[in-house]
Structure 1
Amino acid sequence: GLHIKENRKGQMLFKLTSDIDPNNLFNLTSIGLKIGETAGNKIPVIDGLDNITYDQLKNLGSASASTGAVALIHVPGVTPEAKTLQDAFQNDNPDEIIELEMKDLKEMREKYSTEWQLPPKNISIGCPQLSKEETINVIKKLEGKKILENYNFWICTNKVVKDFILNSEYKKILESSGAKLSTICPTYIPPPKPTTTNSAKSCFYSPATYRNMDECIRIATEGWKSE
């Protein structure tokens, strides 16, 4: 198992082309979908994510564990066992080198997004559950905005974060916007559907429209515009 050092050696090297913004969460979750599909149960090493945060890595890993059976990811310079690219492969060579382009990410978005013909009734942010920082970020984006009538806007986090928000200055913004907090991941959204989400994981397991977070907020506050 993965408790043995030799079994933790990277097997596949994924490189990102310059047309991919590595700081964009929508790109990162789409990268996760592609890596899961490609790697299966092998251990991927992703080069070019020097500035990735813990929360971003969490979201990428969640997507790769949905489309594949990825249990471990190395990011040179970020994850603890991969201070260098050589460390990630334990001074060996990768079995395969794969270059990811923006067209690959667009392909994933098209493949795993269910494009409903009707406006969404439910919009969900998060899954994996949002951290405190992520939850606050979503709530700040909702400040001064109002969720439209007949729309449900769910923010998926954990109970500790939910309790923090409901006992903080962010509660007023949350309640004023009409958004709701959920501690269930993935969010079990009640009828009626359709559903739109920024969660790559949710789109793999359920028929939801896959959009970035800002677009989800725009739809919830300004309305659906058919594309």
Structure 2
Amino acid sequence: MTVIELKNVQKNYGKGEATVEALKNINFQANAGEVVLIMGPSGAGKSTFLTVVGSLQKPTAGKVLIKGKDISELSVKESNKLRLNQIGFVLQSYNLVPFLTIKEQFELVNRVKKSGNIDKATLEKLLGQLGISGLVNKYPNELSGGQQQRAAIARALYANPEMLLADEPTASLDSKNVDEVGQLFKNLAKNYHKAVILVTHDPRLEKYADHIYEMMDGQMTKES
């Protein structure tokens, strides 16, 4: 099932002669149960793509469809609700609240999103799969970078989104940890039937992807 699709999407900044075309006629789709890689160097347009897919910015032209519904013209309130319910983010900074334990991070989600989150048994299973079951009473600064990342993944999945967006998830990791993270995302996609979109410049993740898109100068090409 197609979770998200972009049709002829453009994103411009500025006006007139100062116009910068950040995204040029992008066509893309990601299905439930699959890992999709967005590859490309810095400045290729990956970050802009991520913000458009994540409903943080609206495209200048084209359509962004989530489960067939065009989200391009949603109001700010509707976009906020969409991100809360259907999109999970795993950012480079992990985005964990520093003064809350890992357990309390999930309680915070419950206060913001009062229904539709995964149940206690599924959460415990997820924490076990991520290898952080014994860390739920610790604060983020008591965890390693890899453990913080796994906690951020768990928190993103706790809200039971349709898709998971990860920004440079293997930045600064050695090859052993890259393999662990790549396999982790692949397992999450299959086991939880999520569309997992990884924005990266790390070719070591390619073997874990079901589909790979290359970005260069705001243009996107799907690898065969």
Same fold (TM over 0.5): no
TM-score, normalization by structure 2 = 0.30
Q: Greater strand share, 1 or 2? A: 2
Bigger-Rg structure (1/2) = 1
TM-score, normalization by structure 1 = 0.30
